[in-house]
Amino acid sequence: MRPDEINSQTYSEDNIRHVDDMEHIRLRAGMYIGRLGDGSQDDDGIYVLLKETIDNSIDEFNEGFGKRIDVNIIDNKIAEVRDYGRGIPLGKLTDVVSKLNTGGKFDNDTYIASVGLNGVGLKAVNALSIHFTARSHRDGQYREVKFSQGKLISDESGTTEEENGTYICFEPDESMFANYAFQNDFVEIRLRNYTYLNTNLAIYYNGHRIISRNGLEDLLNDRMTDPGLYPIVHLKGKDIEIAFTHTNQYGDEYYSFVNGQHTSQGGTHQSAFKEHIARTIKEFFGKNFDVQDVRNGMVASIAIKVIEPMFESQTKIKLGSLYMAPEKDKYGNPFSLSGVSVNKYVGDFIKLEVDNFLHKNPLVAETLLQKIQDSERERKAIAGVTKLARERSKKANLHNRKLRDCRFHLNDGKGKPEEEASCIFITEGDSASGSITKSRDVNTQAVFSLRGKPLNSYGLTKKVVYENEEFNLLQAALNIEDGIDGLRYNKVIVATDADVDGMHIRLLMITFFLQFFPDLIKKGHVFILQTPLFRVRNKKKTSYCYTEEERQKAIDKLGPNPEITRFKGLGEISPDEFRAFIGEGMRLEQVTLRKTDLVKELLAFYMGKNTMERQNFIIDNLVIEEDLAKEDFS
């Protein structure tokens, strides 16, 4: 039988089915919220659900209704959000939380500049929750609807003495988000971002008040891990706000927002800022500086408001809009994109305001000039090395000596889930890289193989990045020489053996990133791969254990005399086994960097030349196995 005959017989009316809105969201959750995850990473789906809920409350605040939002996380599982805005119209409450393409954001007379434009957010929260409650209070009346997995369970209404506003409570469905838990740090960072963009908005997180009086200036003060070389320049205009300073760190870092949404991957507004801030500074000094020298060490943030913004995916982390507001016909339909471009709007503001500021503040201008000149001198000092290094990296990439690439990359510009899932494993030696290479998803997972232990880069200048072949090739593979805007992988995963040498390599790699590409860590791109230490199995079942505690539980569960294997290195794990550790259940530990981490002091102690001091510290804090056995951990 020919293939076309088989297809004609098996493909019939019975193969055609229609799914309702809620079922479609559950079947294609990635379309709506990106990755699912368990909450261990800041881009996991449960945080998108929380964001979609809070976004509606923020829109109410921006329209002038309600100056407070209460957010509670109960037992790391259940999220509550209560605002004091106008409340969802009672007669449409059920539709607003359960029917796609339904909401007040389609009416520009109601919401002028909103993030939630597609009528999807709360519906996704509803569909992906095992318990979902929406209650609206309006003028002494209330209505409450309850759902489970998007299906209506109850609907009641009556009178109330509570203030106007909306209450949403949801518990993500553990069948979708296996073993999930909300992490306090990730939630708090998101809430602080809201307050930076909405000055004087009070968010009460589990009873603790979060508020910002100085907007983006507060954001930079909270995020900078190096002191500013001059006071933060903070400028506001109609629908735009910027803040910036320079530090002595390598590279530049940016935080960008649209209508209160953190666009972690930038977009047209961030690109416009980078272009015009460099141009304005060059024109102010009347010198043709290299833009790389102008931006080196810059820490900056930009927030704009756009009517009907276009993002590159439902998760809204990269702005695609070219124009501030499209022109419309009398029916409200866009017919022209001839409105002011985002690039021009941002550029005109920076040209006027930054130039005026520098003229009025000569001490800031003098410090800025000195920083640019210092960067220029260092760049020219390594110019020869840089040129040769680029040529070597191009040849190496052509011959694919160290990089086994994947098909999809973060900046392919197509806004596909595969781009968001792209990652690169940095491994030690041929055996480990071979196991991962044979096990990986060739669409989204790349492998970069180190040759032994990398150089300790602490205290060295960026010249070493180009002189050291491994660092040079890694920089080229990641495409971060000119900053992380061109980063090719969403996750940079250090995958080393779970032994002393493996831990040392992790530390050396983290030191490298902290020294020369701190923004890579600050933006949440660097991770450590957790691989199992033990395999415990009998004839019927196999358990992989990541800790001694998990090993003991597996032994107890499998019964007497199970076979126990201690993995000494990644190369010992077969490709078939490895596939389970880098797939859906992959355990990653995110490397974080905050102002309170005292990075310089930590690096100086652990990576500096104070060998005897470290040796004495180890001796003083050494706990041997016999001591552990005597400890009372109750």
pLDDT tens-digit readout, 41-91:
888 899 999 999 998 899 899 888 989 999 999 999 999 999 999 999 999
Write out the H or E segment, with its range, that includes residue 235.
strand 233-237
Higher per-residue confidence, 539 vs 628: 539
Q: What Cα–Cα distance (Å) separates residue 604 from each residue in 445, 515, 610, 612?
A: 34, 11, 8, 13
Q: 576-607 burial, b if ≥16 CB within 10 A, otherwise e?
A: ebbbebbeeebebebbebeeeeebeeebeeeb
Higher pLDDT, 576 or 240: 240
- The whole-number average pLDDT for the span 185-205 is 93
Tell me, what's the pLDDT at 117?
43
The per-residue pLDDT for 191 is 95
- 33-37, 209-213, 540-544, 560-564 — which one is most confidently predicted on average? 209-213
Banded pLDDT at 110 (limits 50, 70, 90): very low
Using the predicted structure, report yes or no on whether residue 144 has a pLDDT greater than 90. yes
Residue type, 560: P
Q: What is the mean pLDDT of residues 581-598?
A: 81
Position 634 pLDDT exceeds 80: no
Give how far Cα 370 sits from Cα of 281, 284, 293, 366, Å. 13, 14, 11, 6
The contacts of residue 15 (CB under 8 Å, 6+ apart) are: none
Element spanning 59, H or E: helix 45-62
User: What is the token pair recorded at 592?
Assistant: 């974080």
Q: Where do the DSSP E strands lie in 451-549?
A: 491-495, 526-530, 534-537, 542-545
User: What integer pLDDT is reported at residue 625 of this predicted model?
Assistant: 46
pLDDT surpassing 60 at residue 338: no
Domains for the chain: give ranges and CATH numbers: 22-210 (3.30.565.10), 216-381 (3.30.230.10), 383-531+569-611 (3.40.50.670), 534-566 (no CATH)
How far apart are alpha carbons 483 and 41 in whole angstroms?
23
Task: Indicate the burial class of 7 (C-beta count within 10 angstroms; 0-12, 13-18, 19 or more).
Answer: exposed
Mean pLDDT calculated for residue range 533-558: 88
| Long-range Cβ contacts of 198-201 (<8 Å, 24+ apart) | 198/58, 198/61, 198/62, 198/260, 200/67, 201/58, 201/61, 201/67, 201/68, 201/69
Rounded CA separation 591/494 (Å): 10
User: Locate tokens 């810059």: which residue?
Assistant: 298
Band of residue 12 on the pLDDT scale cut at 50, 70, 90: low
* pLDDT the model gives residue 109: 47
pLDDT at 612 over 60: yes
Indicate whether 266 pLDDT > 60.
yes
Which residue in 624, 550, 620, 547 sits closest to 589, CA to CA? 547
Q: How far apart are CA 411 and CA 405, in angstroms?
A: 14
Mean pLDDT for the chain overall:
84
- Using DSSP bridges, classify how beta strands 403-404 and 327-328 pair: parallel, antiparallel or unpaired: unpaired
| Averaged pLDDT for residues 283-291 | 95
% of the chain at pLDDT higher than 90:
43
Question: Looking at the predicted structure, is the pLDDT value of residue 504 above 90?
Answer: no
Specify the 3-state DSSP secondary structure of 131: strand
Name the residue among 79, 78, 60 with its Cα closest to residue 163: 60
| pLDDT band with cut points at 50, 70 and 90 for residue 315 | low
φ, ψ (nearest 5 deg) of residue 303: -135, 130
Q: Return the top range by mean pLDDT from 52-66, 89-103, 165-179, 301-315.
A: 165-179
> What pTM value is reported for the model?
0.80
pLDDT over threshold 90, residue 1: no
pLDDT more than 70, % of the chain: 87
DSSP 274-338: HHHHHHHHHHHHT----HHHHHTTEEEEEEE--SS--BSSTT--SB--SBSS-EE-TTS-EEE--
Q: Given pLDDT bands bounded at 50, 70 and 90, which one contains residue 633?
A: very low
Q: In what order do the strands lie in the sheet with 534-537?
A: 542-545, 534-537, 563-566
